[in-house]
Structure 1
């Protein structure tokens, strides 16, 4: 595809508009999906030079297969693959278009980034990678050029397993390296099959580069020298990473089994993205708010007790109200007891406190991981909730979704309750439900205690 291919139609529906990127592994175009009237990114893979006809055919089939595998991943922090089309025998990827800069471009323009910002970007990427690993997908090419930063600061990872799919090995047939070795894990640099642990190392090397302002294996342009350094796992310990230092050290361990799982990385980066002083302030506000609620409840209870004593002959308990779950079937993983909805205090007209914002942001982040982020999502449930739901059912519930979006943003309706309206397709059936999450804070960590739902 060259510049003379502008306005060309691919697969009868994708009209090429202009070239927006490209490199050794392919060319990326901005295109118009004329069938669905939306803007997309279209990428044509470029096969390595020197392949025989048989090898080229195998590479094309392998590329299409891996693209379809990547298309299974639906995650807020991953660029979605919509379609795999054929263009004169060459597989073409049709992807979500995100107006953005790559992390490599941001690093080139700004130099080293602050640790908290790096942690936020890393948490987004790690969340998507954890979901990919849970789905059996290994990225194999995590690097700054494959992490996109949107205009709103959202980070999305792209090119799941595609860049390496066009060639069996790490080295091309001519003996030259396919891409930069600057972010390779030692085992991948030695020609071993990359695993999920390899992605952990590569993400660590990526975060190292943007927080330190230099590559972990040095800034030399000698690709083979970098490859040898990568194979040996030799890198200078970080000097500017601050609170990220310990995590980067674990992520970049020489032995793959000594590295944390990507879900652990995502959880730790999420915590590091918020400065410790702010976490302490939020916890203090949460406890102050909780104390105020307890005091208010005590006052109300005393008043009710006095009223009940004076009206003992006429007062009677209210008739029990059936829960929404009992009235109609729901796709919610769990149902809160009827008393939980009746005990929810009416919304107050006062401005939300910092604790309120914290709960709402937690729910936003939780749903942002779904439906693919079940590995991290499971850790957000309280032990009682986990026991009530069961891990197998939790995975089956979220895994059955082919579409998921938050139709009405999370908003707090009580001291520990947050409501949202979810719109999703599960096992081929469309649902639109109001979900009420009851939350608790244990040792500074917010957890989900229950999830009740009703048709919205």
Structure 2
């Protein structure tokens, strides 16, 4: 449907094969305005709509590192599912349908976080794509009637989760299959069951519901159901023991103190979510994480750390003036580049987890920030 060309800096141009008529241009601008107003962290925005010298329309967007592939560890599947479900729900509330929730439209930023790209139906109706492209991920009603609505987006979410859990599309590709046979199989054939042993039954039920051939049987609010069906016990809040609990931190008289204590709670929620039904054991004192002083490069910071244990890591970032910290998953990596804004002060912490417990590094500031728990 379009050609992606590397642009200057961190941008790409997505170039479509012709110009836009007035109706399509108006619909496209309306969709992008609604998405821009959301400013949703998991929706990749279009930075600019432009027209090339030959009349073709081009969208300027942020360059991303890779697209979705599977299978993934269960914790990553859970994060992916909730991220995409929330992005879709936000767009739907704003009146925008994605229209093609497929692996090629789930991208990953340099920081590793997934984002959903290419929201909207205006360009899809103006430039129909090859009907056989990613057919195994498309809702049956889209294949039959070119329907694109909220329910077809939910089917796409189910297809993404199926790929992330199994490494295969819901309807497996058969080499050399005739197009008519392939379409008939997607429209009428059953989805192969998920047999992965570490996937809990409630997550399997959620995916099955999203992949229902009858649009009316798909969960109406998957973002809520996904959170409700996280495997395991309710989220555990990991806090210091009562005798170690410090008093509430106070801002410095100049207002430059970054209150990073909420990082502990926020990251604990993430780790409890990803850990499933494993209740953290008491933290073994020999395990430690050492965060090296951050290297400030102006528009980004380079972080590196070490540990004497094998852990799954997350970077906790507190920005001056922001009430909530950011959590950036690093998995087993021990280094991460993090984008920052020039002139603001930041505090960083590394949190790690294994089946025996959760561990934290000390806070490391940049630009004179004061970090307090």
Same fold (TM over 0.5): yes
Match of 1:166 in 2: 126
Instruction: Summarize the alignment of residues 302-313 of structure 1 with structure 2, pairs less than 5 Å apart.
Output: none
Per-residue CA deviations over 1:2-47 (Å, capped at 9, x if unaligned) read xxxxxxxxxxxxxxxxxxxxxxx11112223xxxxx6422110136
Q: C-alpha distance in 2, partners of 1:123/1:233? A: 27
Q: Contact conserved, 2:155 with 2:210, CA < 8 A, in 1?
A: yes
Match of 1:391 in 2: none
Secondary structure of 1:72's counterpart equals helix
Instruction: Summarize the alignment of residues 14-163 of structure 1 with structure 2, pairs less than 5 Å apart.
Output: 25-32=1-8, 39-46=10-17, 58=21, 62=24, 65-66=27-28, 68-73=30-35, 74-87=39-52, 88-98=54-64, 100-103=65-68, 107=69, 111-161=70-120
Q: C-alpha distance in 2, partners of 1:272/1:72? A: 30
After superposing the two structures, state which structure 1 stretch, 192-201 or 177-186, moved more.
177-186
Match of 2:184 in 1: 228
TM-score for the superposition, normalised by structure 2 = 0.59
Per-residue CA deviations over 1:312-343 (Å, capped at 9, x if unaligned) read xxxxxxxxxxxxxxxxxxxxxxxxxxxxxxxx
Matched, 1:195 2:143: no
Instruction: Summarize the alignment of residues 318-333 of structure 1 with structure 2, pairs less than 5 Å apart.
Output: none
Secondary structure of 2:324's counterpart equals strand
Query: Are residues 72 and 362 of structure 1, via their aligned partners in 2, closer, same or farther at CA, if it must alter by over 3 Å?
Result: farther
TM-score for the superposition, normalised by structure 1 = 0.49
> Cα offset for 1:79?
0.8
Give unmatched runs, 5+ long, in structure 2: 251-258, 271-318, 326-373
After superposing the two structures, state which structure 1 stretch, 221-230 or 136-145, moved more.
221-230
Match of 2:249 in 1: 347
Secondary structure of 2:11's counterpart equals strand
How many correspondences in the alignment? 259
Query: Are residues 236 and 406 of structure 1, via their aligned partners in 2, closer, same or farther at CA, if it must alter by over 3 Å?
Result: farther
Give unmatched runs, 5+ long, in structure 1: 1-24, 33-37, 48-55, 297-344, 364-404, 412-456
Matched, 1:177 2:84: no
- Structure with bigger helix share is 1
> Cα offset for 1:268?
4.1
> Cα offset for 1:66?
2.4
Query: Are residues 224 and 255 of structure 1, via their aligned partners in 2, closer, same or farther at CA, if it must alter by over 3 Å?
Result: same
